[in-house]
Amino acid sequence: MKESDMIDHRRLGRDLELFVSDPLAGAGLPIWLPAGAAARHAVEEYVRELERRAGYRHVYSPPLGKRELFELSGHLGYFADDMFPPMRLSADDEFVLRPALCPHHALVFRARGRSYRELPLRVAEIGGMYRAERSGVLGGLSRVRAISLNDAHNFCALEQVGDEVREILRLIREAHAALGVRPAGFRLSLRGPGEKYVGDDADWARAEELLRAALGGMEYHEGPGEAAFYGPKIDIQIVDAAGRESTISTVQLDFDKPERFDLSYTDADGRRKRPVMVHRSLVGSMERLFAYLIEVHAGAFPAWYAPVQLVLLPVDDGQADAAVALARRAEAAGLRAEVDLAGSLGARIRDVARRKVPYAGVIGRREAADGSVALRLRDGRGLDPMPAADALRLVGAVVAARSADLLPSA
Ligand SMILES: [Zn+2]
């Protein structure tokens, strides 16, 4: 078997029961099983927390909307081939599954008058959107038709764009470090000759300059002519186990949608001004992110988002009660813990390793008697028996630090 088959996320996703693709549900519409959902939930909580601390405001918006919304946004004009056909309720009532969250977030900005004091206004959501991908290109989580995007739209004045993009890049680096994402490269997409662009030349030149400055000191590739018609962007690329490159994080300036949605704020001098919209994603869609994380970690996630963090293994039935009681304490301490009672101890230890669970806690007669547990780490290291409270503190510290190591740093 080839190395790339061993770490194919589809195979690992099946073996570790992370997600399932059922033809009855439809190609490109995977279902997240409890283990995959637990890992994703931990990652989503982390991303929201990171954003909240950085001044983002989270919203919820529906994954479909009236046809007119997407005519106004331009998606039906430019992007219709990638969208599912509209759903007709009546002659004047048609809905489409959205291909992006920006139109709804523009409506959040427009929900009332805005002042320059509120800028940058950072509207964030891990939200659903849809792409009518052809069935031939679909596979596992990497190409799907239903997408949950870690998205935000930062509305700011043009002079704020430089600081805003620098801060976004800092958040991207922080999220990548915590998750174990190893970016393959940065691309700066710029205007090119012979293409049509919206927005005036001076704004474009300024925006391109600000993006270059925000990337200052980092290594990146410049792509003249690669920008969207509505603004320049920075893409952060990853490479999957099969060698395919794709974008995981993105920072896109947009001069077009503020115009289309007639967005404005009142500036310090009392005049109405047009904000710039920055589309950004720290970690991309949950689907593509997990396709990548499953492969890059070969299923052995860092403890903080491992589906199950601790499996307790009584040596025999006499210690079952002690194991169950410790699992309850672990859960009460916020950990994801299980007890495995069935089969020989050796077989259970092998099963914990097969499932890539970071910690196994073995409880024999002596441990049950004195309230201790012997931790075995996923990498094969074994620790001497320690009081149960110390073991929970150890695992809790590694999880809280979002460390890639399984022992707390001294
Ligand atoms: Zn957007």
Instruction: Report CA(76)–ligand 1 centroid distance (Å).
Output: 15
Helix, strand, coil share of the chain (percent; to 5): 40, 25, 35
* Dist CA 143 CA 406 (whole Å): 32
- What's the pLDDT at 2? 55
pLDDT in tens, 225-249: 999 888 899 999 998 877 888 899 9
Find the 211 Cα to ligand 1 centroid distance in Å: 17
- Helix (H) / strand (E) element for 70: namely helix 67-72
Helical residues (DSSP H) of 57-160, grouped into ranges: 67-72, 75-78, 102-109
Q: Give the pLDDT mean for 215-226.
A: 90
Mean pLDDT, residues 350-365 taken together: 97
Taking 50 as the threshold, does the pLDDT of residue 1 lie above it? no
Backbone angles phi, psi at 241, to 5 degrees: -60, -25
CA of 105 to the centre of ligand 1 (A): 8
Distance in Å, CA 290 to ligand 1 centroid:
21
Q: What is the DSSP letter of 119?
A: P
Q: Residue 192: is its pLDDT beyond 90?
A: no
Closest to 176 measured CA to CA, from 232, 236, 122: 236
CA 300 / ligand 1 centre spacing (Å): 32
pLDDT given for residue 141 in this prediction: 94
Average pLDDT, the chain: 94
CA of 153 to the centre of ligand 1 (A): 6
- What is the 363 CA–ligand 1 centroid distance (Å)? 51
Spacing, Cα 146 to ligand 1 middle (Å): 16
- Mean pLDDT over residues 332-349, rounded? 96
| C-alpha 347 to ligand 1 mean position (Å) | 49
The two beta strands, 310-314 and 337-339, are parallel
Q: Cα separations (Å) of 19 from 200, 226, 295, 358?
A: 46, 35, 14, 20
Query: Confidence class of residue 283 from pLDDT cuts 50, 70 and 90?
Result: very high
Residue 8 scores a pLDDT above 70? yes
CB atoms within 10 A of CB 124: 25
Q: Count CA atoms within 13 Å of residue 56 on its CB side.
A: 28
Terminus-to-terminus CA distance in the chain, angstroms? Answer: 40
In the predicted structure, residue 6 carries a pLDDT above the cut 70? no
Question: Average pLDDT in the 329-336 region?
Answer: 98
User: Ligand 1 centroid to 279 CA: how many Å?
Assistant: 5
Separation of CA 98 and ligand 1 centre (Å): 11
Ligand 1: distance of its center to the CA of 278 in Å? 8
Cα–ligand 1 centroid distance for 393 (angstroms): 41
pLDDT for 29 beyond 70: yes
Q: Ligand 1: distance of its center to the CA of 100 in Å?
A: 6
Q: Reduce the DSSP state of residue 399 to 3 states and report it.
A: helix
Instruction: Tell me how far the alpha carbon of residue 155 lies from the centroid of ligand 1, in angstroms.
Output: 11
Rounded Cα distance, 278 and 56, in Å: 13
Distance 351 CA to ligand 1 centre (A): 43
Residue 254 or residue 229, greater confidence: 254
Question: Using one digit for the tens of pLDDT, what is the confidence trace for 150-185?
Answer: 999 999 998 999 999 999 999 999 999 999 999 999
Distance 258 CA to ligand 1 centre (A): 11
Give the torsion through C-alpha atoms of 398, 311, 14, 83, to 10 deg.
-50
* Residue of 93, 103, 98 whose CA lies nearest to 72: 103
- Quick: pLDDT tens for 297-306: 999 999 999 9
- pLDDT, mean of residues 371-382: 96
